């Protein structure tokens, strides 16, 4: 191993294995490890992940209301500010969402997340979602997550009463880079929704997207912001450029840089669920399994919001082949 890389990984290893948090400077420097030496970084991250057990946390998501979103997020196929061919639809019927929940439970998911486009959900759509949640809670053993945009205290309490156990709301990127991807709401707006969810007693899933043109420092800053919030689950999406969005021509992130990011998030967030989410199939291709050997301990299985995933059965085989288990 290169002597500088060797010394840095040894120093970081000594820190994290003794329970000492790594610094922002430590984390940024890890991105400079040469490709030929990244397996040493992955091994360190995997040793930290192993302390949490050998079980991969699986969840699935449903695109319950798609498109016609007034927010201008530059990555999003569902924004009215982007010119994409996404097939929009209003809120899915209760029976359709309940049937999908049953299907995902049979496929191995332990959690089912209802996701809607738009800045928030209110009126009849919100009441219909509450009724759907109550029925899924009654008919399945799934934990229920909701990703409904911004959240008021009143709506948070109603979701809690209906049986939701987890709220998902991403920061998307660092505070300093956020203005490059969205202008219709602020980073503070996103933080406020996360704070409301935490104060209401939900588990919280909060992560972001990498590969949007941000620097490695932006990725590290996002990780430390999330660490300060003390959320439970951190989904890492990898941008898949969509024609018609403002990021359609961006150069995709390299697979090894995706894995480096996962490993470094593990070192910053040693006791959390780090979940590889949308874009893993397109960006990691044949080395997807390495994500679970580089510190990740969670996956979203099945399809995503506007892109297809692979079959849940394929992911279950991958997990078993690695000698790991998955939640039910």
Asked if 262 and 196 touch (Cβ cutoff 8 Å), the reply is no
d(CA 260, CA 174): 17
- The pLDDT profile of the chain, 328 residues, written as one tens digit per residue, is 566 766 778 788 888 888 889 999 999 999 999 999 999 999 999 999 999 999 999 998 888 988 889 899 999 988 888 888 788 888 999 999 999 999 989 888 888 999 998 889 999 999 999 999 999 999 999 999 999 999 999 999 999 999 999 999 999 999 999 999 999 999 999 999 999 999 999 999 999 999 999 999 999 999 999 999 999 999 999 999 999 999 999 999 999 999 999 999 999 999 999 999 999 999 999 999 999 999 999 999 876 565 566 888 899 999 999 999 998 6
For tokens 């840089």, name the residue: 257
Number of folded domains that form the chain? 1
Domain residue limits at 77: 55-326
**What CATH code is carried by the domain that includes residue 207?**
3.20.20.70
Q: Is residue 25 assigned to a domain? A: no
Q: Is residue 214 assigned to a domain? A: yes
Rg (CA), the chain: 19
Q: Is residue 260 assigned to a domain? A: yes
Q: Is residue 100 assigned to a domain? A: yes
Q: Is residue 164 assigned to a domain? A: yes
């Amino acid at each position: 191993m290169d002597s500088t890389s060797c010394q840095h990984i040894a120093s970081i290893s000594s820190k994290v294995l003794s329970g000492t948090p790594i610094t922002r400077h430590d984390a940024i420097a890890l991105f400079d490890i040469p490709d030929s030496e990244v397996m040493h970084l992955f091994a360190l991250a995997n040793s930290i992940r192993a302390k949490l057990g050998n079980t991969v946390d699986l969840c699935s998501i449903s695109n319950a209301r798609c498109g016609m979103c007034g927010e201008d997020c530059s990555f999003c196929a569902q924004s009215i500010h982007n010119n994409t061919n996404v097939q929009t639809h209003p809120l899915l019927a209760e029976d359709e969402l309940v049937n999908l929940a049953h299907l995902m439970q049979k496929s191995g998911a332990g959690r089912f997340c209802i996701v809607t486009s738009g800045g928030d959900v209110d009126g009849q759509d919100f009441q219909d979602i509450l009724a759907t949640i109550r029925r899924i809670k009654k008919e399945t053993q799934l934990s229920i997550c909701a990703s409904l945009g911004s959240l008021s205290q009143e709506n948070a309490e109603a979701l809690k009463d209906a049986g939701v156990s987890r709220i998902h709301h991403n920061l998307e990127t660092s505070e300093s880079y956020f203005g490059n991807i969205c202008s219709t709401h602020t980073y503070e707006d996103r933080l406020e929704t996360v704070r409301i969810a935490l104060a209401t007693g939900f588990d919280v899933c909060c992560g972001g997207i990498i590969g949007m043109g941000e620097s490695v420092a932006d990725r590290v800053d996002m990780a430390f912001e999330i660490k300060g919030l003390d959320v439970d689950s951190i989904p890492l999406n990898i941008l898949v450029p969509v024609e018609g969005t403002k990021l359609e021509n961006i150069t995709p992130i390299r697979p090894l840089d995706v894995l480096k990011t996962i490993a470094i998030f593990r070192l910053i967030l040693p006791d959390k669920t780090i979940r590889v989410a949308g874009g893993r199939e397109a960006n990691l291709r044949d080395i997807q399994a390495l994500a679970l050997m580089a510190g990740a301990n969670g996956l979203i299985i099945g399809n995503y919001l506007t892109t297809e995933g692979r079959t849940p059965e394929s992911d279950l085989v991958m997990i078993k082949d690695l000698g790991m288990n998955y939640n039910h």
